[in-house]
Amino acid sequence: MKNISKYYLLVLSVVLLGCELNEEPIGLITRDQINTEPTASSVTSSVNSSYQLLSNTLNIIGEWDWTGGKVLRNDFILQDIAAGDMNKKWNPDGDQAWMDEVAAFNFTAINGAFNGIWSYDYEGISRANMAINTLNNPDITDTGLDAATKDRLLGEAYFLRAFYYFDLLNHFGGVPLLTEPLEDFSAAYEVSNRASEEEVIALIENDLETAVGLLPMQKYSSNAEPWRVSIGAAKGMQAKVDLFQENWEMSLAHIEELQAWNFYSLNDHYFDSFDVEKEFMEDEVIFAYDHRAELNPSKGNGLAALMGWGFVAPTENFVNAFEDDDPRLEYTIETETQSPHKLLGSTDSQYKGNDDSPGNKVYIRYADVLLWKAEALIETGQVEAGLEIVDQIRMRAENTPSLDGSNGELEMYSGSGLSQEQALEVLYKERRLELGFESHRINDLKRWGIADEVLTEMGKNFQEYNYLYPIPQGEIDRSGGQIEQNPGY
């Protein structure tokens, strides 16, 4: 059991103590000197720790390290603020000016937003590698972990590693590939060269395929813990990865397989996917991070705390994109009370300012999958079929009462004779409306190749090289220049 025991306890210590990746080579996990034998419980905890970097819980890997971008996960900055859907605050000020730099595309490689997401994703990868290494050890049976649970946990870890790498790929392009725990600093430097985008994609695809083969064929991998990665989440990620590579037919095949399982459907009410009172009791959410209040150590959604200080506001451009009768705007962000209801998990603002909020962070939901399918259909010339799916999403919105109980009427697009180009414009807009503030927008603009056009029209200083963010300068320095910076930075 030595091959297991030298690694597993370090994962648990990382959970309790946090880590400072900016002081060590990327993804570094040093050799554990404790010889205690692992148990089924400790192995499960090592997998659980791999989820933690998906959370909005405050200070997971840094103690109020604002300038390092580590107070909480930075998706809302790099996606929603950068894309012009979200302003930093309702009332502009000089607080956390590095966020304003991202918003204006007036940043350098030392900006904390990039260091933060790099640190979160690589720490997640490090923990997933630890879990994969432990679970693949032949001696794992000595823990008493049954085969089905072992396979499920391993499938979760492979998914999470793929998820973190896909995030890094979309932000930075090719990045260093770490697939095993590192035993010393020299090993870290040996793998600090950037892999190609093709190599990163290959790892992601292999990990997801492995995950699908290991996870149980049921909606929730564990009915007792429905927050865990499911086969639906893994299949959904396969579809997303192919969509982003414009492998339309493969993406459609994955989506149709997912739909055939009949695990998911659109909720009748738009807000049900975000409502704290309906978490894991509705039909649409495929993968979300499970925030919980009143736990020690904390597992709450700390983004709500920032809202109490005036953070997270809509841009005028975002608000104006909605039709007058579209209830999704006020469920996303209500301007009267300055409350991002979707992110708070309630429509009464009760969690605003609460750093221990229970609202989950939704990563994949069925509406997103349906819009992937609509996009792939339109791109393959099946325009009418794609527009029918868009109308399905819009009809659900139309049937959702506004906060005052009224219903409006939204325009439908199928049967209107739109061209492929016009249908794609409809699809692009619908993704913005349906998925607003869910941290998808900048990736969409970039993969569609329209980020420069859209963001320049908003007055942002977006340049062609901004299609990739800069590698954090600290990582380049610590690698001795082995990690090459993206062009333009």
What is the residue-averaged pLDDT of the chain? 92
Segments making up each domain of the chain, as ranges: 1-215
**pLDDT reading at 309 higher than 50:** yes
How large is the average pLDDT for residues 254-269?
A: 98
User: Residues 156, 47: contact at Cβ < 8 Å?
Assistant: yes
* Per-residue confidence (pLDDT) for residue 142, from 0 to 100: 76
Q: CA-CA distances (angstroms) from residue 401 to 343, 396, 407?
A: 19, 10, 5
Q: CA-CA distances (angstroms) from residue 261 to 219, 231, 232?
A: 9, 10, 9
- The whole-angstrom separation of Cα 27 and Cα 188 is 8
Instruction: List, for residues 377-414, the tens digit of each pLDDT value.
Output: 999 999 999 999 999 999 999 999 999 999 999 999 99
**pLDDT reading at 5 higher than 80:** no
DSSP letter at 37 equals P
CATH number belonging to the domain at 1-215, selected among 1.25.40.390, 1.10.110.30, 1.10.10.10, 3.90.550.10: 1.25.40.390
Over the range 61-91, which residues count as b (16 or more CB within 10 Å of their CB) and which as e? bbeebebbbbbbbbbbbbbbbbbbbbbbbee
**pLDDT reading at 13 higher than 50:** no
When pLDDT is cut at 50, 70 and 90, the band that residue 182 belongs to is confident
**pLDDT reading at 118 higher than 90:** yes
Phi, psi of 289 (to 5 degrees): -85, 130
Query: Closest Cα to residue 56, out of 302, 357, 289, 312?
Result: 302
Instruction: List, for residues 135-168, the tens digit of each pLDDT value.
Output: 998 877 778 899 999 999 999 999 999 999 999 9
Among 30-34, 188-192, 315-319, 433-437, name the one with the lowest average pLDDT.
30-34
When pLDDT is cut at 50, 70 and 90, the band that residue 29 belongs to is very low
**pLDDT reading at 7 higher than 80:** no
pTM for the predicted model, two decimal places: 0.93
Q: 274 in helix, strand or coil?
A: coil
When pLDDT is cut at 50, 70 and 90, the band that residue 3 belongs to is very low
Pairing of β 285-289 and β 86-89 = unpaired
Q: Write out the two tokens for 285.
A: 């959410």
When pLDDT is cut at 50, 70 and 90, the band that residue 191 belongs to is confident
* Per-residue confidence (pLDDT) for residue 186, from 0 to 100: 65
* Per-residue confidence (pLDDT) for residue 28, from 0 to 100: 39
Query: Who's near 453: CB < 8 A, 6+ residues apart?
Result: none
For residue 86, what are the β-bridge partners?
314
How large is the average pLDDT for residues 350-360?
A: 97
R_g of the chain, CA atoms, integer Å: 22
- The whole-angstrom separation of Cα 453 and Cα 444 is 13
**pLDDT reading at 184 higher than 80:** no
* Per-residue confidence (pLDDT) for residue 4, from 0 to 100: 37
- The whole-angstrom separation of Cα 347 and Cα 330 is 9
Q: CA-CA distances (angstroms) from residue 275 to 75, 81, 279?
A: 21, 23, 7
User: Residues 286, 369: contact at Cβ < 8 Å?
Assistant: yes
Q: CA-CA distances (angstroms) from residue 404 to 284, 342, 347, 348?
A: 24, 17, 11, 13
* Per-residue confidence (pLDDT) for residue 37, from 0 to 100: 67
How large is the average pLDDT for residues 313-323?
A: 98
Instruction: List, for residues 217-248, the tens digit of each pLDDT value.
Output: 999 999 999 999 999 999 999 999 999 999 99
* Per-residue confidence (pLDDT) for residue 40, from 0 to 100: 87
Over the range 232-264, which residues count as b (16 or more CB within 10 Å of their CB) and which as e? bbbbbbbbbbbbbeeebebbbebbeebbeeebb
Instruction: List, for residues 39-98, the tens digit of each pLDDT value.
Output: 888 889 999 999 999 999 999 998 999 999 999 999 999 999 999 999 999 999 999 999
Q: CA-CA distances (angstroms) from residue 316 to 86, 364, 403?
A: 9, 26, 21
* Per-residue confidence (pLDDT) for residue 144, from 0 to 100: 83
Q: CA-CA distances (angstroms) from residue 376 to 252, 287, 344, 413, 440?
A: 7, 21, 32, 17, 17
Phi, psi of 122 (to 5 degrees): -75, -30
Q: Which amino acid is at 245?
A: Q
When pLDDT is cut at 50, 70 and 90, the band that residue 113 belongs to is very high
Please confirm whether the linkage preceding 297 is cis (ω < 30° from 0): yes
Instruction: List, for residues 428-476, the tens digit of each pLDDT value.
Output: 999 999 999 999 999 999 999 999 999 999 999 999 999 999 999 999 9
Strand segments (E) across 190-329: 285-289, 311-314
Other residues' Cβ atoms within 10 Å of the Cβ of residue 16: 8
How large is the average pLDDT for residues 15-20?
A: 34
When pLDDT is cut at 50, 70 and 90, the band that residue 190 belongs to is confident
- The whole-angstrom separation of Cα 71 and Cα 52 is 13
How large is the average pLDDT for residues 239-266?
A: 98
* Per-residue confidence (pLDDT) for residue 64, from 0 to 100: 96
* Per-residue confidence (pLDDT) for residue 439, from 0 to 100: 98
Instruction: List, for residues 207-220, the tens digit of each pLDDT value.
Output: 999 999 999 999 99
* Per-residue confidence (pLDDT) for residue 451, from 0 to 100: 98
Residue with tokens 């090993």: 187
Query: Closest Cα to residue 207, out of 265, 125, 277, 140?
Result: 125
When pLDDT is cut at 50, 70 and 90, the band that residue 185 belongs to is low
Task: Determine what percent of the chain is predicted with pLDDT higher than 90.
Answer: 86
User: Residues 313, 326: contact at Cβ < 8 Å?
Assistant: no
